[in-house]
Every structure is written in C-alpha cells, then in structure tokens.
C-alpha cells in the first residue's frame, strides 16, 4: 500500500461487524442441525478462511458479503477433521474443536496458525476439555479429541484469562451433561454476545458478563437469527486515526460502552469525543497530544488490540509515555518499523517508552501482524511524504474496505502489486 500523509481525516466511517464475535458465532452453528442466520458479518479474510473450513466439515454455507448476511446449516458432517491447510491461516479455527467434540463426539484439529504475536498456547483448551471428559492426544501436529459418551459438566478454573479458551469451552459445555462452571472466564463484550447467541439457540447460560459463567447442559440446540455487534477494535482504530491526523470523524454504528477504558485514556490525551445518535464524533480540538501511560489488560482494561495504534498516537505526543504490554509477549514488532519512520521508542522488557517527535517521515515498512499493519497505516497518514507498507495481507484479516473508508475521508491510500 502506498500512502501520502499529512492530510487530516474528515468525514464519516461506518464501523463493521465484530470479527471477534463473528468467528465464534460461525463455530457455534456446528452445535445445531438447524439453520443459523447471522447479520452484520464483516467481509474479511479471517471470515472467509473459517467459512472454507466449515464447508470442508460439511456445513452448508451461504454468505452474501455485500449485504453482510450469512446462513449456516450443519445438518450432518462430512468430516470431523480440521486440516492444517485451513487452520494454519488463522488461529481462531481452533474454535471448531469444542463444538465438534460435544455434538459429534470426536474431532481432529490441526494446531493453529495466525499472527505471530506470542505463544498463545492451546494447552488451556486441551486441559479444560479433558476435565469435561474428553480423551485428547496430540499427534503429528493435530489435536485429537474424542468423547464417545459425551462431555460431563464440572468446575473449570482458567489459570489465566483467555478469550478463545473461554469461547471454546463454553461451546463444548452447552451440550454436556450436568453443570459446568467456568471460573476466571473472560468478560469481553464478544463473550457476552456469544452467550446471548447460545441462549437464543436454547442453551442455559447464566453469570454472563462476570468471571464465573454457569452452563447447564441441554440435549440439543436450535437455529436462530442473530446480529453481530459493531467491532470495538475497528472503532478504536479509526478514533485514533482521527486524533493522530488532527481530523474529525463521525464513527457510525458503534457502541462506546464497549470501549470505556479506551475513551477515558483518549480524553486524557486531549482528544475530544462526543456520543451522538449515530455513533461517536472524535476530533482533536487543541491539536496537541498529551502523553498518557497505559497498560494493556483483559476487559474492561485497555485492549491489547489497540496498543499498536495507540503507540503511533503517542509517537506524536508532547512528552514521554510508557506503554506496557501485559497480554502478548511479542506485540512490539511494529516498533522497529515505526522507528524507521522517525519515531523515538525504546523497549524495556514488556514496556515501550515513547518520546514524542515533531514529525514522522514516510518510509518503506513491513507489516508483521494484523494490528501492527493498521498502526503502520496510521503512521503513514501522519508522516511526511510517501509510505509503502509491504505484506499488507495482514490488514485484510480484520479491516474491511479500509482504503475506501479512509480515502472517503480525505486520505490517499493506494494498493498495488510488484
């Protein structure tokens, strides 16, 4: 992508559906033989990758990407194997493990791929499913699970807060026998919405939105219609882009309540935001960015998925800010690329110390993961001259029509091949 910077973003951007809800919602359709209809589904490569896997398993998939409507029906199954060629493209493919083993009593899922931002081991998923009674082995790079007599409810305490782990075990437990309690469960809005979807399908889940989720197993689930909520990470990303470029953006179709800690921090930096009937209006009235330290944390703390974008904002601050990454150990890979553009950032263990500079300069940079790639886009928007971002395919995993959305607000982004 070629970006010409130093242009304020002014206009409106429609926030798409939440990728991090759509993915487990798609996997949840495995739990019933009836049709599940999802609306506001984003058209992203991560979604396409999981739908390809669902088709391979035997689901009937009908996705109208322009209308963002998705119909899924898994009346039967052709295979309970999720092969390497599918799973290597995206870590969230492991979300089919719980639904497959609880409904069809067996599954074989390749160890997952995705962004290289940390170990993110699957041992928590495996341990929890074993507690539920699944027999699991790892052979030739595959997780092989079987539960010929079904899963049995129990208490499961997660050693660390895990979003994907909570989702996988939650979906496994809904068709188990008896009561399952998930202790130290993740509380992200996407978890809450997944529980709402499952309850609409006939599950019996309580404690939603708390660290202890209680699941009463049921014999079967039924189909439903469900709307995917707005993507809070896309909302935060464009809010930072508005602030960094001294612009003014109305972000439509978003839920500020899902980003309370983020907007609290953003306001401390001097950036203004106003909730409206359509969404949220973000602008930088004072044209200065105050340094504000952050630490990433599980919800409701500052999201790790907005850390890279926030680092770019702090690179233009009037002073020095520290950014501590407490979720993923390798999530500073964007910093060497920002340094190529003139940012003044040093890394001390899990903390990045950012001293603001007067300007960034365009350069050739390389995207290393999804959120790093969009942080480089924001850096390109504020830099002098031309920025070229290589390995842009990462961005298509989480941001739909990013060129059209930003160019419609005054930016100059162009994708090209070499």
Helices (H) and strands (E) in the chain — how many of each?
13, 24
Q: Known catalytic residues?
A: 115
Please give the Cα distance from 280 to 257 (Å, whole number): 11
- For the chain, give the percent of residues with pLDDT over 90: 90
The per-residue pLDDT for range 333-344, each reduced to its tens digit, is 999 999 999 999
The pLDDT value recorded for residue 353 is 98
The per-residue pLDDT for range 286-304, each reduced to its tens digit, is 889 999 999 999 999 999 9
For the chain, the C-alpha Rg in angstroms (whole number) is 21
Please give the Cα distance from 265 to 288 (Å, whole number): 15
The per-residue pLDDT for range 75-128, each reduced to its tens digit, is 999 999 999 988 888 878 899 999 999 999 999 999 875 444 344 468 899 999
The per-residue pLDDT for range 21-30, each reduced to its tens digit, is 999 999 999 9
The per-residue pLDDT for range 17-57, each reduced to its tens digit, is 999 999 999 999 999 999 999 999 999 999 999 999 999 99
All domains in the chain, ordered by first residue: 2-15+230-414 (3.65.10.10), 19-227 (3.65.10.10)
Listed in sequence order, the DSSP H helices in 255-412 are: 260-268, 307-314, 335-340, 370-382, 402-407
DSSP-based three-state secondary structure for 172:
helix
Both tokens of 393, joined, read 């395919």
The pLDDT value recorded for residue 339 is 97
Does the pLDDT at position 175 exceed 80? yes
Other Cβ atoms less than 10 A from the Cβ of 415: the count is 12
DSSP-based three-state secondary structure for 140:
coil
Q: pTM of the entire structure? A: 0.96
- 19-48: b or e for each residue (b if 16 or more CB lie within 10 Å)? bbbbbbbbbbbbbbebbbbbebbbbbbbbb
The per-residue pLDDT for range 227-243, each reduced to its tens digit, is 999 999 999 999 999 99
The per-residue pLDDT for range 178-235, each reduced to its tens digit, is 999 999 999 999 999 999 999 999 999 999 999 999 999 999 999 999 999 999 999 9
The mean predicted confidence, pLDDT, of the chain is 95
């Amino acid at each position: 992508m070629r970006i010409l910077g130093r242009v304020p973003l002014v206009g409106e951007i429609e926030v798409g559906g939440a990728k991090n809800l759509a993915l487990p919602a798609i996997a949840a359709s495995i739990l019933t033989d009836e049709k599940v209809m999802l609306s506001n589904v984003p058209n992203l490569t991560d979604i396409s990758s999981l739908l390809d896997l669902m088709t391979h398993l035997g689901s009937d998939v009908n996705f109208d990407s322009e209308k963002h409507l998705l119909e899924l029906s898994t009346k039967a199954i052709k295979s309970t194997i999720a092969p390497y060629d599918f799973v290597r493209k995206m870590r969230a493919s492991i979300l089919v493990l719980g639904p497959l083993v609880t409904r069809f009593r067996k599954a074989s899922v390749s160890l997952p791929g995705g962004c290289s931002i940390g170990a993110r081991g699957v041992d928590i998923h495996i341990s929890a499913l074993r507690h539920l009674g699944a027999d699991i082995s790892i052979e030739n790079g595959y997780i092989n699970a079987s539960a010929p007599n079904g899963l049995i409810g129990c208490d499961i305490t997660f050693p660390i807060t895990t979003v994907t782990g909570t989702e996988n075990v939650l979906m496994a437990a809904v068709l188990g026998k008896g009561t399952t309690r998930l202790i130290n469960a993740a509380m992200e809005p996407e978890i809450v919405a997944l529980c709402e979807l499952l309850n609409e399908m006939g599950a019996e889940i309580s404690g939603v939105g708390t660290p202890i989720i209680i699941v009463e197993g049921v014999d079967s689930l039924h189909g439903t219609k469900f709307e995917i909520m707005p993507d809070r990470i896309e909302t935060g990303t464009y809010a930072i882009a508005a602030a960094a470029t001294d612009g003014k953006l109305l972000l439509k179709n978003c839920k500020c309540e899902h980003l309370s800690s983020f907007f609290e921090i953003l306001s401390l930096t001097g950036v203004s935001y106003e909730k409206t009937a359509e969404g949220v209006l973000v602008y930088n009235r004072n044209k200065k960015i105050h340094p504000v330290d952050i630490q990433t944390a599980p919800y409701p703390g500052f999201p790790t998925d907005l850390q890279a974008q926030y680092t770019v904002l702090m690179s233009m601050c009037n002073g020095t800010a520290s950014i501590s990454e407490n979720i993923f150990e390798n999530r500073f890979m964007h910093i060497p690329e920002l340094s190529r553009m003139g940012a003044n950032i040093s890394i001390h263990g899990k903390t990045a110390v950012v001293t603001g500079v007067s300007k960034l300069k365009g350069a050739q940079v390389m995207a290393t993961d999804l959120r790093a790639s969009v942080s480089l886009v924001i850096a390109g928007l504020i830099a002098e001259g031309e920025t070229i971002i290589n390995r842009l395919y990462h961005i298509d995993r989480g941001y739909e029509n990013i060129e059209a959305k930003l160019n419609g607000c005054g930016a100059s982004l162009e994708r090209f091949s070499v």
